[in-house]
Amino acid sequence: MTASKEFGRRLRATCAVGALVCAALPTTSRADDERVTLDATAHVFATEHIRAFGPTDARAAFEDDDEYFASASVVALGPALERLLEADIAVAGGSLDAGYEECEVTGGPEVVELARRRIAALRDAVEGTATLRIALVHLPDAADAAHARDASAVRAAVGAGRARVLLTERIVAQRGEPVALDDVALREFVADLDVEVAEYASIGDPVTGRIATGTRLRVLQRPLDGTRTVVALACQLTRLDGVRAVRTGAGALEIPDTTFGSVASTFLATRGTTSVVVLRHPWESGVVAVLVDVLALPATDGLGARLVDTVVLCGGSLAEPTRRLGLHDVVIDDAEGEECDPFAAARALAKSIETSEGGIELCETLALVTDAARVFGEPREHRLVRRVVPLEASELASLPGWDPLDASLPAANAATLAARASAFLVDVPLVEHGAFFASAGRTTRVVTDVDVEIATGASLTDPIVLDLVTGASCAVQFTGGAASIVPVATWRTVRSTAETEPTPIAVVRELEGKRVDSEPDHIDAAERRERQGSLVLTGGGRIDVRSAGDAAEADSWSFE
């Protein structure tokens, strides 16, 4: 906020000089002046909501496809044009009367042409699209996996036939609008029973669900300048392990079991280079590399001011991909997840720029400023690598510096343990203030309880079915103020078991004063173990050791 104050002070000074220049210029009108009304609107997509695709939502993800294609919305450029053009038009001997969605220009042909050019440039900048080429590549060999962050090595492996391309696409995306790429199979299953009862009649009405398995990708970009864009990318691979039939008092259910792995990261992509996101393949050997090439970005010159995406400039607001793409739902029932507006800070910044008298707010998270890069600083990019090394309890004791009273190892052991890791879990680029999220595991469904529906002479039990996820998830967030920016990793592991022999439960039914037999009901004796915490990621790696009973594992983080 201090920086924005400084910026406002500079803008005020600039405007004051401009005003003095304008006051000194002659304002005579000529006979051949014309009065032209120009369209001052731009059109952008305004997709406010996109379906999540965690395991919970996977089966419903395709039910509302039209949400991907929300109608374009109109951005009024008029208020911005007034400040952007007023001084130049005056210098050229014309005048400007900017409304909200149109502007009236009075002056000679050169004045009108100047206005047309500026409006077109601004419209291009607002509506402009970026072209990205995305490729998902599976590298099954350990040797190739070790070099998966090197795009040329990945391409060489593909060329040599050692890697398989899972998905490749060339996409064109507007600023801030997510693009979905999916290669999935859809399957219906009986997910629940909707119990209905009436007089002397009852039924368990099967409710079908839909599960999508395969590869899914979401990409969202926000141009920083003419050569760089901030890309938020999310990728998920899901496999259907099988569908089991389960009997309940109200009828038969189907329980799908899946294995999944997902990753999301926000990074800085530069035109002419390839960014690579790497995650371990959730069920096969090796890794999956996601290659992102920036082929084209919208031009932002010719405006006389710089177009700034305030989302990019706001620390923390780049948590957007995990929120808008729904990846925070991968591990279910995170009770502490907070609903908040990820763009609030960006909007506030855009508004503060607008009110600083020199800046111009456009559409909520877009602003025109003179020297944003110098005022707000360049985003820095890091690379985040996470490995997990399984350990025997006896091995722990032999590691130097191991303190059984502590939950961590000295960083000196990082190299020792990293060398033992066969492969990393994730290896991703991550821009400062960007968001990282990864999750992997298995999903199933369990009957945790039963309700009863009842009417005259009829009753039926209603099974309550919930998702059960076993896996681990982790997220990285940057926190801190102007003095320091510190990456913090929050992690969560969930270990679940559902016993193969469910527990029968008592159901006593009396009809007209007499006991009647009911269909057997049960609840799954599911157990879940959940551990949750966070740690500061310091350069050079950090080792956190988690033990569960006799087994232990060292979680190694490397933040470069």
Partner 1 sequence: MRRVLRSTRVAATALLALVACARVAAAGDAYDPAASAAALFWPDGVEERAAADPPSLATEGSFDTDRDGLPRAALDVVERLSAPCVELRARVVSVAPGTAELAGFLASSRTVLTTEDAAALRAALAAGGAVGVADATACGAVDDVLRLRDLGARNAAVYSDVECAIHVATTVTHGAHLCDGLRLQARVAPHDDGAHVLAYDLAWVGVPRIAPAMPLRDVARDEAAGDACAARGALLLAPGATACLRFRSARDAQRGSADGRTLLVLLRVVARGEPRLPLDLGDGWVAVPTAALEALAPDPLPLADGGDDDERTTGPADALAPWTAPFHAPPAGWVAQVLGDAGIDVAEIVHAPRGVAFVRTRDRGAAHAAADAVLAAGRAGVVCDVSDAAGARLVLPGLDGFAVSGFVGTLRTDAVPGELNVETGCDDSIGVHQWVRPTPRGMRFVLASAPGQAAEIDVRSDVETRGAPRTLRARRSLPGHATTAWEDLVVPSRTLRDLRVRSAVPDGACELAGGLRVRVARERATATPAPVALLLGGERVCATPGRAARVRRIVTEQHATELEWDGSCGVTYRWPQVRDVPAGLDVAASPGPRGTELDVAGLVLGAPQVLDPAFDTGDGVCAIVRRPQLAVRTTLPLGALRRIAWGAGLELTAGAESAVELPPLRTLSADDGARAAGLRFAGAVELELRAGDHVALPSQVATYTSNHESGEAYVVMLDAWSGVTAGLASDGDVLRGDVTFVAAAAPRAFDVTKFQAPARPDRDVRLLLPVTSAHAFALVVPPGIAVELRALAGSAAGVRVGMPRIEEAR
Is residue 340 close enough to count as binding partner 1 by CB under 8 A? no
Helix (H, G, I), strand (E, B) or coil at 553: strand
Token digits of residue 188: 């219906």
**509 is a site residue for partner 1 (CB under 8 A):** yes
The nearer residue to partner 1, 184 or 466, going by C-beta atoms, is 466
Q: Kindly tell me which of 75 and 460 has the beta carbon lying closer to partner 1.
A: 460
Closest CA to 137 of 124, 156, 119, 113: 156
**Min separation Cβ 406 and partner 1, Å:** 6
Point out which span in 219-227, 319-327, 351-359, 442-450 binds partner 1 (CB under 8 A).
442-450
Does 523 engage in binding with partner 1 (CB under 8 A)? yes
- Nearest to partner 1 of 272, 481 (CB atom): 481
Cα–Cα dist 230/221, whole Å: 6
Q: Of 60 and 505, which has the nearer Cβ to partner 1?
A: 505
Q: Measured from the CB atom, is 244 or 531 closer to partner 1? A: 531
CA distance 191 to 36: 62
User: Quick one: which H or E segment has residue 23?
Assistant: helix 2-24
| C-alpha to C-alpha distance for 269 and 132, rounded to whole angstroms | 10
Site string for partner 1, 400-429 (x = CB under 8 A): ----xxxxx---------------------
CA distance 102 to 42: 11
Among 88, 416, 455, 467, binds partner 1 (CB under 8 A): 455
Name the CA radius of gyration of the chain, rounded. Answer: 29
Could you give the CA distance from residue 81 to residue 103 in angstroms, rounded to a whole number? 8
3-class DSSP state for residue 88? helix
Strands (E), 175-227: 179-198, 201-223
The contact mask relative to partner 1 for 155-194 (x = CB under 8 A, - = no) is ----------------------------------------
Q: Which of 23, 159, 508, 517 binds partner 1 (CB under 8 A)?
A: 508
Q: Which of 41, 270, 274, 547 binds partner 1 (CB under 8 A)?
A: 547
**CA-closest candidate to residue 171, choices 244, 101, 231:** 231
In whole angstroms, the minimum distance from the beta carbon of 254 to partner 1 comes to 20
**Does residue 482 bind partner 1 (CB under 8 A)?**
yes
Q: Which of 390, 401, 480, 520 binds partner 1 (CB under 8 A)?
A: 480
The sign one gets for the Cα dihedral 309, 68, 269, 540 is positive
Is residue 462 within 8 Å of 450, Cβ to Cβ?
yes
Binding site residues, partner 1, CB under 8 A = 199, 336, 397, 404-408, 448-450, 452-459, 461, 479-486, 488, 503, 505-513, 518, 521, 523-536, 538, 544, 546-547
